[in-house]
Amino acid sequence: MTAWRLGLALSLVFAVLLLAPGLVAPQSPLALDTALALQPPSAAHWFGTDDVGRDVFARVVHGTRITLGLVTSSLLLALLLGGGLGVVAGFAGGWFDLALARLADMVQTFPPIIAGVMITGVLGPGASNLVLALSVIYLPSFFRIGRSAALAEAQLTYVEAARAAGFGEAAVLLRQVLPNTLPVLVLNFVILFPLALQIEAALGFLGLGVLPPTPDWGAILEQGKNFILVAWWMSLWPGVFVLASALAMLLLGHGLRARLGR
């Protein structure tokens, strides 16, 4: 199996866990049973139990919807806003393009994790604030990709032909330039996904992600660090899921890049 096919297969597995975690783990990720606290992996609890008796397998599987859902929502928002503005700015040029380019440069001067801590630290933990933070972090990247693609497309002969045929600037942008920039924006989405996932997990580990007891891979890792010597399984499995999902998108991104010739 080639690398990109492995990435595609893993991505499909995680897509199923994201869309229907209850099919894989019908147990409630919030159900408490202190009598079963810190039980090692067994036939009854595949990934063991945590310090209050919750099933770690159920929490990690249901956490897929939370963690990957937040990352996907954040990058989609960044793609729509950043990529859309980038395409418009690159096609229009002038002061509008220059002003947005300088703003994107300013935002990108902050390392992603520092920017994430700053934004969530000011706004407070929570799913919506985390989505906003991740969107702001990666919006400049989509802006730059969209802008570069639009600049390149605007110089091609088919754009001049469309103008000569009587199409207005808006029609040329929406019907000609935008569809041809979408593949590179989607590729950027796939490539950035593992990076955004790491930031999301890190913020969850720092307590700046979703609020407990909502299952989130980063939050489960933070909970497990206090019991690493006596209950290693609490930290192992969310870490494995973070690594596997990041690897899936990394392999898929390399495969898409090779097929798009970029």
Percent of the chain with pLDDT over 70: 99
- The per-residue pLDDT for 164 is 76
Question: How does pLDDT run across 198-207, given as a tens digit for each residue?
Answer: 999 999 999 9
Question: How does pLDDT run across 187-235, given as a tens digit for each residue?
Answer: 999 999 999 999 999 999 999 999 888 999 999 999 999 899 999 999 9
Structure pTM?
Answer: 0.92
Question: How does pLDDT run across 120-142, given as a tens digit for each residue?
Answer: 999 999 999 999 999 999 999 99
Q: Is the pLDDT of residue 261 over 70?
A: no
CA atoms of 195 and 210, how far apart (whole Å): 18
Contact 56, 237 (CB under 8 A): yes
Q: Is the pLDDT of residue 114 over 70?
A: yes
- The per-residue pLDDT for 1 is 53
CA atoms of 191 and 181, how far apart (whole Å): 16
- The per-residue pLDDT for 177 is 85
The answer to whether the peptide bond before residue 213 is cis (omega within 30 degrees of 0) is yes
Q: What is the mean pLDDT of residues 159-183?
A: 80
- Beta-ladder partners of 212: none
Q: Is the pLDDT of residue 258 over 90?
A: no
Q: Is the pLDDT of residue 169 over 80?
A: no
- The per-residue pLDDT for 262 is 58
Q: Is the pLDDT of residue 260 over 80?
A: no
Q: Which domains does the chain have, with CATH numbers?
A: 3-18+47-260 (1.10.3720.10)
CA angle, residues 246, 235, 200, in degrees to nearest 5: 40
Q: How confident is the model at residue 151 (pLDDT cuts 50, 70, 90)?
A: confident
Calculate the alpha carbon distances from 181 to 154, 170, 235 in Å.
11, 15, 41
Contacts of 25 (CB under 8 A, 6+ apart): 55, 57, 58, 61, 62
Query: What are residue 49's phi and psi, to 5 degrees?
Result: -125, 160
Calculate the alpha carbon distances from 40 to 134, 216, 226, 238 in Å.
35, 20, 16, 15
Which segment of 1-5, 17-21, 78-82, 83-87 scores lowest on mean pLDDT? 1-5
Percent of the chain with pLDDT over 90: 66
